[in-house]
Amino acid sequence: MKYTVDIQGMHCAACVHAVESSLADIPDVTDVSVSLVLHSATVTINDTRSSLVNELTKAVEDAGYSALGVRQEDTATTAASFARIDEDVSTLQRKVRVAVPLAFLTMAVSMILMFEPFTSQIDHTIANIFLITATTPVLWQGREFFRTALRAARQRTAVMDTLVTVGTSAAYLYSIVVIILHSLDTIPLSVHHHVGMYLDSAAMIVALVLFGRWLEARARTKTTDALRSLVSMRPTTARRQLHGSVDVVQLDDVRIGDQLVVLPGESIPTDGTVTSGTSDVNQSMLTGEALPVSKSPGDRVVGGTLNIDAVLTISVDRIGADTVLSQIVRRVEQAQQGKTAIQHLADRISAVFVPIVLAIAITTFIVWLLFDQSPQSIEHAITTSISVLIIACPCALGLAVPTAIVVGTGRAAQAGILFAAPSAVERLAEVTTVLFDKTGTLTEGRFEVSDIVADGPINEEDWAAIATVQSRSNHPIAVAMAQYARQKADVWTDADVTVQTVVGAGVEAVIHRPGHNKALRVRIGNPALLERSMLIVDQGTIAALEHFSQTGATAVIVNMNAVTRCVVALRDVVRPEAAEVVADLTRQGISSAIVSGDRTSTVQRLGQTLGIEESYGEISPGGKADLVDQLRQQQRRVAFVGDGVNDAPALASADVGIAMASGTDVAISTADVTLLRSDLHSVLAAISISRSTVTTIRRNLFFAFFYNVAAIPLAAGIFYPSYGLLLSPIVAAAAMALSSLTVVLTSLSLYRTRLS
């Protein structure tokens, strides 16, 4: 059983680690994944006990955070979780509006007092004003820093708020002590000589951290735009037709079998089948294709798609979490909630990052205090240690991977590409070989008549017989032949037809027509069909069969009353974009291969047509999986592209399984990647977004590591002896805020990625 817990108060990777550790301690929990971007945790538990909700809530609160709700994933509650995230942004904005002006006022007073005539002595009144303007942002707007740090301390851990709390507390408390000593006339409060000057630093640190966190939170909400857009497509009401009247009801009250009326311009409330009306429906949210699709009685429609032209009445097939839209949302959430291998590494580093920074800050303070012989040694020790605490940014490390994954998978969803997990993004970016299944993937899975060989003309009666027999079968070859024959003659609707299917050979039929004394016996199939009836296959027919076989076509003999009338060649229709996609993969350094259960000659012929060098024919579904394993043993990273059903073993064996779904069959696919469009360009797009996402992740991590490696020594004052460069805690706070914001903005650039 999977539960999602909405969490408030997480700001860095250390927060994520604390929540994950606490949730993992619950009995029967098998997996925990916490998303800093989505403010939620997904917990898998091998139990259904009634106390689970309370246990999950308590575990989050024990870690020092607020559990806003525990749910099993569905679209409606996802919308509610977004509302909570937006409320967090609004709360931060309110704090910023108070903290920033007061911090600047504190700094302005401090700067004014540095000039004459205020350089000699500050009276008690000015000192008190100075204290009030600094205390409000530190202890009121910044109180959440202290609460989170205290809760973390109780759990014997440290988070980013611990660094902010220790830094501001040091500056604030030192200043308070100085002011108290001044009030007792123990020491003069000389701003010019920097005694008591850290109140403005404490206030500005809190203000800048809050401001940076607000900007970061606003930017982070943009990373979920794609998922928000999907969620918003689900209507909240429906027009239900009951006993001749139509009433507007809440969508949650709709049940399977209900009749819903959908007006032009309205979104279809849920999945169903059209029972009356004909209209064009915009399915772009499902397939990414803007061209409307005509829907008439008997056609399936998907909830969230837009009815354009006329009134439709639909019978409800699926509701709630079972709808296609809910499944798509769940797929996107799963992809955004999990973690890649590189993120696990970043999390391990982040878990020890804050304690290491605390140790560096303490060491910095001691070193400056012991080895700085100048009169400002205490000032230098305080400034550098506070700067080290403030400038270190575990946020950048914690956000580097998840923000890129959320934006990347969201961008993919907009293009009709669903990743099952973030690890699939990482693996697809490293693919070196794409193995395509033939039927239904490189081809459209439908046949068309390409050639006909006959000793003489085929008359209208022959075509009518072919149409009459083949129209009674759903076999792809029969459908294609019937469609072609109906263009030549009409089906004999008044005939009495007996059809027998001979497995592996074809069909035999006996047709009795009114007004005709003699029955017509029709055989359509391969030579084995004729041989079982002791009929001889003439040399001309054999030559035609061999010719078509060599050219990759499927050949069928049409025999009537023991006389071969013709040989019909049919070809699986190749997708028009297939050759272009293969050529594009080759330009990217990715090899292509084709596999099929069809004859080897047919598969090789198609491979030559498309420019594919590796072709494998007469391979069973299990053999396809073995072929994938063989290619992987050659140190290749293999992506298998199939239909998601018949190719399940190969999809599971590949490094990345890519299934081409029909849009309404999202649930049947267990592949790593599901393509909602029946277009091979989606394969290129999936690879493109994967590579762009992984590149962004690496860029983010490089920046986060480089920033901290460079910034912490700078804040510690390593360049002061040589260059006189000492970083102010205020500058450190601004740098820290900008570092996490930079990571988020870099990830947002993925929305502008041009997909192949």
Residue in 393, 351, 400 with CA at minimum distance from that of residue 702: 400
Residue in 602, 601, 593 with CA at minimum distance from that of residue 624: 593
**How many other C-beta atoms are found inside a 10 Å radius of the C-beta of residue 221?**
17
Is residue 205 within 8 Å of residue 172, measured between CB atoms? no
Is residue 15 within 8 Å of residue 160, measured between CB atoms? yes
| Rounded distance between C-alpha atoms, residue 675 and residue 662, angstroms | 8
Give whole-number Cα distances, 280 to 108, 266, 318, 540, in Å.
65, 12, 21, 50
Helix (H, G, I), strand (E, B) or coil at 160: helix
Q: What is the DSSP string of 340-375?
A: -HHHHHHHHHHHHHHHHHHHHHHHHHHHHHHH--ST
Is residue 270 within 8 Å of residue 238, measured between CB atoms? yes
How many residues are there in the chain?
A: 756
Q: Which tokens in the block code for residue 314?
A: 């639909």
Give whole-number Cα distances, 231 to 38, 82, 227, 249, in Å.
14, 10, 6, 19
List b or e across 13-49, with b for residues whose CB sees 16 or more CB atoms inside 10 angstroms. Answer: bbbbbbbbbbbeebeebeebbbbbbbbbbbbebeeee
What are the phi and psi torsion angles at 237 (to 5°)? -130, 165
| Rounded distance between C-alpha atoms, residue 108 and residue 126, angstroms | 13
Catalytic: 437? yes
Is residue 677 within 8 Å of residue 289, measured between CB atoms? yes
CA 620 to chain centre: 32
Q: For residue 472, which amino acid is it?
A: R
Q: What is the DSSP string of 432-486?
A: -EEEEEIIIIIEEEEEEEEEEE-SSPPPHHHHHHHHHHHTT--SHHHHHHHHHHH
Cβ contacts of residue 57 below 8 Å, gap of 6+?
A: 5, 67, 70
Cis peptide before 527 (omega within 30 of 0): no
One of 271, 347, 437, 584 is an active-site residue; which one? 437
| Rounded distance between C-alpha atoms, residue 112 and residue 388, angstroms | 27
Give start and end residues of each alpha helix (H) in 190-340. 198-223, 225-232, 284-287, 324-337
| Rounded distance between C-alpha atoms, residue 270 and residue 304, angstroms | 7
Interior CA angle at 304 toward 303 and 307, to 5°? 90
Q: Which tokens in the block code for residue 443?
A: 């081809």
| Residue for token pair 């013709």 | 566
Report the chain's terminal Cα–Cα distance, integer Å: 38
> What are the residue numbers of the active site?
437
